[in-house]
Each structure stands twice: as structure tokens, then as C-alpha cells.
């Protein structure tokens, strides 16, 4: 289990860089945090899904698994961004909260649902 998490964490570092850079670019273009977070998420989650499928969990990246992963992770990303918009949360806090939730919940969801059987 620790090996899976260590690999997932490594992918998560790159995933986070992609997410954060995209998020701030979107904000600089005048988008709301909820929208910016979803767009950033889409780029980052696609990278994360394919790398984690092959390297972390050594599973095949199927369309069903991708959709399942994207829907779950997207709901979390949008939820954090939506709440941040409603309460006026500072964007950096939005990213930190979103990244932490994505790491913890994303690993559990990936390990036991999306890529179960390993």
C-alpha cells in the first residue's frame, strides 16, 4: 500500500503543478474560481489518470475507468471551487484545499474503486 501511495504522491506533485499553473492562468483571464478549477482539473486529471494507470497501479487505462475517475475528481474540484466562490475564499487557499482533498480522496478512490484488484 505504501508503494502505491508513494507513486501516487509523485504523480500528484506533477499533477499539482499542472493544475496550479492552469488555475492561475484561467484566473488571469477573468474566469471564476469554480470554472478555473474545473479547467485546470481537466488538464491535470488526464495526465494523472494515464500515468497512475500505467505506473502506479499497473492497470489498463480504459474509457470506463477514465470517466469514473474524471467524474469523481471533477465533482470534488468543482465543489471546492464553488464553495470558494460563495464564501469569497482566497484563490491560493482554494488550490491548497483542492489539492489536499484530491490527493487523499483521489488515492482512496483510485486504489479501491477505479483500479481495484491490484
Question: Would you kindly state where each structural domain of the chain is located, as residue ranges?
Answer: 2-114
The sign of the torsion formed by the CA atoms of 24, 30, 34, 40 equals: negative
- pLDDT tens-digit series, residues 37-81: 778 888 999 999 999 999 999 999 999 999 999 999 988 888 988
Give the closest residue to 52 by CA, choosing from 78, 70, 38: 70
Confidence (pTM): 0.82
How is the chain split among helix, strand and coil, in percent rounded to 5?
Answer: 85, 0, 15
Amino acid at each position: 500500500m505504501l508503494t502505491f501511495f508513494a507513486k501516487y504522491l509523485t504523480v500528484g506533485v506533477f499533477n499539482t503543478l499542472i493544475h496550479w499553473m492552469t488555475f492561475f492562468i484561467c484566473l488571469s483571464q477573468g474566469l471564476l474560481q469554480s470554472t478555473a478549477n474545473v479547467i485546470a482539473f481537466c488538464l491535470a486529471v488526464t495526465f494523472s489518470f494515464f500515468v497512475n494507470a500505467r505506473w502506479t497501479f499497473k492497470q489498463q487505462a480504459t474509457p470506463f475507468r477514465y470517466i469514473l475517475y474524471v467524474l469523481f475528481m471533477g465533482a470534488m474540484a468543482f465543489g471546492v471551487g464553488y464553495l470558494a466562490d460563495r464564501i469569497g475564499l482566497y484563490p491560493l487557499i482554494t488550490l491548497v484545499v483542492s489539492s489536499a482533498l484530491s490527493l487523499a480522496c483521489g488515492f482512496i478512490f483510485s486504489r479501491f474503486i477505479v483500479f481495484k484488484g491490484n
